[in-house]
């Protein structure tokens, strides 16, 4: 795009020689053999030649410097890859856009380190799931202890701590289908609780094992490639100055 000063835009009677600022990056603006080349330069020169317009270039290191000079009246226009923003539209006019682009993220496809592979197992969600699992075991163990403590005190002592602990042990052995046989319900309610837990634990254990297996598989296959803006938080990122992506990165504190 070619920005022009809003208060002194090119009209049908332009100055004899326009002062043109050039700034930007390849392939729009670049130096080659002491000559300035690029897509934006070719477009401007084609326009100037068709209108038989004389001009002279002034190079700037950055787009911001060129736009400041334009706004201060030192230039008639700026040629280069200048993004159109709402803030810039308040102070200058732009030519019709000749190139449309969108924001994109480019990052290395590094392999995950050992810590990055096991890190998912130390997440808050996993810790909450483990806590919930222990709570469910405690509830099942308590029910088994309450049902069995009078009829089977040798397996489930009257002491709540030891009795509930033995109930939790029976629940774990039942869920894992290990079947040691060292603990077994003898009452009707104890068998109903144990049988219900067997059915529930089949679904519960299968889902838990599948989730862990999926996490391991995805961790081994994934990389540290950044694929969304949220992953840029706290990382070092490079962008072209005075571009929309610069404001975008500042907004996300990268």
Is residue 44 located within the same domain as residue 119? no
Q: What is the pLDDT of residues 209-234, one digit of tens each?
A: 677 667 666 655 555 566 666 667 76
**Residue 102 domain flag:** no
Is residue 50 located within the same domain as residue 119? no
Q: Are 23 and 29 in contact (CB under 8 A)?
A: yes
Dihedral (CA of 106, 108, 111, 117) sign = negative
Q: What is the pLDDT of residues 196-207, one digit of tens each?
A: 988 888 877 777
pLDDT score recorded for residue 10:
47
Burial of 40 from C-beta contacts in 10 A (0-12 / 13-18 / 19+)? buried
Q: What is the pLDDT of residues 229-254, one digit of tens each?
A: 666 776 777 776 666 677 777 776 65
Q: Which residues of 95-116 are buried (b: 16+ CB within 10 A; e: fewer)?
A: beeeeeeeeeeeeeeeebeeee
Is residue 71 located within the same domain as residue 125? no
Range of the domain at 8: 3-94
Is residue 120 located within the same domain as residue 186? yes
Name the pairing type of β-strands 30-32 and 35-37: antiparallel
Is residue 7 located within the same domain as residue 76? yes
Is residue 118 located within the same domain as residue 21? no
- Mean of the pLDDT values across residues 40-57? 91
**Residue 250 domain flag:** no
Nearest to residue 27, comparing CAs of 97, 104, 80, 106? 80
**Residue 74 domain flag:** yes
Residue count of the chain: 254
Percent of the residues in the chain that have a pLDDT greater than 70, as a whole number: 73
Is residue 85 located within the same domain as residue 158? no
**Residue 174 domain flag:** yes
The per-residue pLDDT of the chain, averaged, comes to 79
- How many structural domains comprise the chain? 2
Whether the pTM exceeds 0.75: the reply is no
Is residue 87 located within the same domain as residue 135? no
């Amino acid at each position: 795009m070619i920005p022009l000063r809003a208060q002194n835009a090119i009209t049908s009677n332009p100055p004899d020689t326009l002062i043109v600022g050039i700034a930007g990056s390849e392939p729009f603006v670049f130096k080659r053999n002491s000559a300035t080349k690029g897509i934006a330069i070719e477009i401007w020169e084609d326009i100037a030649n068709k209108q038989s317009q004389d001009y002279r270039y002034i190079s700037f290191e950055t787009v911001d410097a060129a736009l400041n000079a334009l706004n201060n009246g030192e230039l008639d226009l700026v040629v280069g890859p200048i993004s159109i923003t709402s803030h810039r539209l308040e102070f200058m006019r732009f030519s019709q856009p000749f190139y449309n682009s969108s924001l994109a993220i480019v990052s290395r496809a590094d392999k995950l380190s050992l810590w990055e592979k096991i890190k998912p197992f130390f997440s808050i969600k996993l810790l909450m799931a483990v806590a919930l699992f222990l709570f469910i075991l405690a509830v099942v163990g308590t029910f088994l202890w309450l049902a069995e403590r009078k009829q089977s005190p040798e397996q489930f002592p009257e002491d709540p701590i030891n009795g509930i602990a033995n109930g939790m042990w029976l629940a774990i052995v039942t869920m894992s289908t290990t079947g040691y046989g060292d603990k077994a319900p003898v009452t009707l309610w104890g068998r109903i609780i144990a049988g219900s837990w067997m059915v529930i634990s089949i679904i519960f254990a299968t889902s838990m094992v599948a989730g862990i297996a999926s996490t391991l598989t995805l961790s081994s296959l994934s990389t540290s490639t950044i694929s969304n803006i949220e992953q840029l938080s706290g990382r070092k990122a490079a962008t072209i100055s005075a571009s929309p992506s610069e404001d975008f990165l500042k907004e996300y504190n990268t």
